[in-house]
Chain A
Amino acid sequence: MFDEKLLKNEERAIFSLRSLYRSYGYLPFKMSKFEEYELYVRNKDFLVSDRIITFNDTNGKLMALKPDVTLSIIKNGIDLPGVKQKVCYNENVYRVSDGTHRYKEIMQTGLECIGDIDLYDVFETISLSAQSLEMISESFVLEISHLGVLSGVLEDVGGDESFQNEVVRYIAKKNAHDLRALCKREGMNEEDGEKLESLIGIYGRRGDVLEKLDRICGPSSREAFNELVQLSEMLDGQPFGDRVVFDFSVVNDMRYYNGIVFKGFLDGVCEGVLSGGRYDNLMRRIGRTSGAVGFAIYLDLLEQLESARQEYDVEVLLLYGDHTDKKQLANTVRRYADAGKTVSAQRGVPPGLRFKELVKMEGWDDPC
């Protein structure tokens, strides 16, 4: 029994999201705060930042404070046909903050579906992403992209790896002017250049995007296109369907991710709060043969959401002194608390404390 008003946005989200994930059969996954450093060295590029807090364990082994959750979850497991592991978590990770360049503890919640996964699992993950965002704020957008579309179109137009990397960078920035200049510099024919540029311009309502995308996708990206069509049909009947859009500027690292990737935004938070996608390539890199899809929500960012501002620190400031009857004091404090009021018993008025009501007990002497 507690007053929900006292919860911060991120605390409220932890409770409601955990209950949502459990209702879809995702089991809680509890992991250690530490991992062997080697796990991260091998998959350095997968991490948001390669700066990791390390220390030597008592046996001399180099350990790290977890900068990431996914690697810890997928490093063990059995790959069998028809078998899937569905887990959810709520963990702290340790990363360098962009602003201060110092280490920061970040609360992260999310889920992973690992094993013999199919399009339904991708849909379920996206559906749970949208429902998660909706639980936090009604004003949200979930953007979906398919790396298969991007890699297929890139394959069709050709060019070396550095050219393709630069194209992907420009698409992620919605930077059509520099992309155009790059294609011109590389001597690309106009039609292929326009095809790449159109990946920046096509975004928004799923139906409209698919109509335009159909004209761009060649044989290399057809399979990915068909997957998007099926996914869109599944999303059509959902209550949050209109807030799930397509946008190909969502680009995750193709060395780890493949297929559908997505990013979630909340009105009032300056960057994406949810990030996820299918990462079969990462599974291969760590020696697993099955697939995986999942997402993480960065709860620290929810601090930016407007929450009802408390006008007072406490409702009742109760002043007592040496001559106050302590039993009477205890009863009075209890009476206020039982009546649902916040109360602080003090000998004097603490500097800066905001209170609604000042109550002086018998026996209180003004120290001033």
Chain B
Amino acid sequence: MLNIALPKGRLGEKVYAMFERAGYDCPAIRENNRKLIFENPEKQVRYFWVKPSDVAIYVQRGCADIGVAGKDILLEYEPDVYELLDLGVGKCRMAVAAPVGFYDSGEKTLRVATKFTSITSAYYARVGRDIDIIKLNGSIELAPILGLSDVIVDIVETGTTLKENNLEVIEEILPISARLIANKAGYKFKGEEIENIAMNMKEQIERNDQNL
């Protein structure tokens, strides 16, 4: 039985469709209910929905053989997993945003509010800027508005939330997309099956790219 951890939400539904096209369908998952685990014994596959930021934990700990996690999570928590494929979905970017018109004179320690403390420290260490990190768990955009921080580091998809709060992207840190990840030990014993899925998904992505 192959165990697959999917991120709850729109991204999860999108990637499930890719697994389905790869031949690993599980009709029960399309039923509208509050169940978290779905199994198709015929295809020897079991899916479960988990919080997107927890997918990597399920995979690293071996409860799931494979899963789909955002590059942001993989960079932030550095789980010891294989990163087999860039799925080309859930595309966004990790960026520094500030109130419109913000100017960093570099004279003072820059106060940065973020959920992603590791990515943020690594980025500012690379550019050599002294910062004070303020770890928040949500509504990051509020921090510079209320003066809690000078800037924020967060995921930007369309930029609408930033715009509505009079913020703008001032630096891009890196592009983000969803990745197919695998447990290292699970890969040794179910490698062929996992590689078949990865290969099929890769073909789907290439076909999509050609159609664009």
Chain A interface (Cβ < 8 Å from any Cβ of B): 139, 141, 143, 173-175, 177-178, 204, 249, 265-267, 269-272, 304
Given contacts A174-B182, A177-B86, A178-B83, 7 further A-B contacts (CB under 8 A): A175-B82, A265-B184, A267-B188, A270-B186, A271-B62, A271-B80, A272-B184
Interface of B is mostly: mixed
Closest chain-A Cβ to B34's Cβ sits at a distance in Å of: 28
Partner of A177, one of B61, B85, B188: B85
Q: Is B185 an interface residue (CB 8 A)?
A: yes
**Nearest residue in B to A201 (C-beta to C-beta)?**
B195
Chain B residues in 8 Å Cβ range of A139: 189
Chain B residues in 8 Å Cβ range of A178: 83, 86
For the complex, give the distance between the alpha carbons of A34 and B172 in Å: 48
Q: Is the CB of B188 within 8 A of A141?
A: yes
Q: Is B120 an interface residue (CB 8 A)?
A: no
Interface of A is mostly: loop
For the complex, give the distance between the alpha carbons of A266 and B183 in Å: 13
Using C-beta atoms within 8 Å of the partner chain, give the interface range for chain B. Answer: 10 to 19
Chain A residues in 8 Å Cβ range of B183: 270
For the complex, give the distance between the alpha carbons of A249 and B182 in Å: 13
Closest chain-A Cβ to B15's Cβ sits at a distance in Å of: 16
* Contacts A141-B189, A267-B189; A175 near B83 (Cβ below 8 A): yes
Q: Is the CB of A174 within 8 A of B84?
A: yes
Q: Is the CB of B189 within 8 A of A174?
A: no
Closest chain-B Cβ to A242's Cβ sits at a distance in Å of: 13
Q: Is the CB of B60 within 8 A of A173?
A: no
Chain A residues in 8 Å Cβ range of B86: 177-178
**Nearest residue in B to A204 (C-beta to C-beta)?**
B191
Chain A residues in 8 Å Cβ range of B184: 265, 271-272
For the complex, give the distance between the alpha carbons of A269 and B62 in Å: 8
Chain A residues in 8 Å Cβ range of B191: 204
Closest chain-B Cβ to A188's Cβ sits at a distance in Å of: 19
Closest chain-A Cβ to B117's Cβ sits at a distance in Å of: 15
Chain B residues in 8 Å Cβ range of A267: 185, 188-189
Q: Could you jot down 9 A-B contacts, CB within 8 Å?
A: A139-B189, A143-B188, A174-B84, A174-B182, A267-B189, A270-B183, A270-B186, A271-B60, A271-B185
Residues of chain B in range 154-183 having any CB-CB distance to chain A below 8 Å: 182-183
**Nearest residue in B to A181 (C-beta to C-beta)?**
B86
For the complex, give the distance between the alpha carbons of A269 and B188 in Å: 11
Closest chain-A Cβ to B183's Cβ sits at a distance in Å of: 6
Chain A residues in 8 Å Cβ range of B186: 270
* Contacts A141-B188, A265-B185, A265-B188; A270 near B83 (Cβ below 8 A): no
For the complex, give the distance between the alpha carbons of A277 and B84 in Å: 26
Residues of chain B in range 43-100 having any CB-CB distance to chain A below 8 Å: 60-62, 80-86
For the complex, give the distance between the alpha carbons of A1 and B90 in Å: 61
Closest chain-B Cβ to A206's Cβ sits at a distance in Å of: 15
For the complex, give the distance between the alpha carbons of A141 and B189 in Å: 8
For the complex, give the distance between the alpha carbons of A139 and B189 in Å: 9
Closest chain-B Cβ to A257's Cβ sits at a distance in Å of: 18
* Contacts A174-B82, A174-B83; A270 near B188 (Cβ below 8 A): no
For the complex, give the distance between the alpha carbons of A272 and B183 in Å: 11
Q: Is the CB of B82 within 8 A of A173?
A: yes
Closest chain-A Cβ to B50's Cβ sits at a distance in Å of: 16
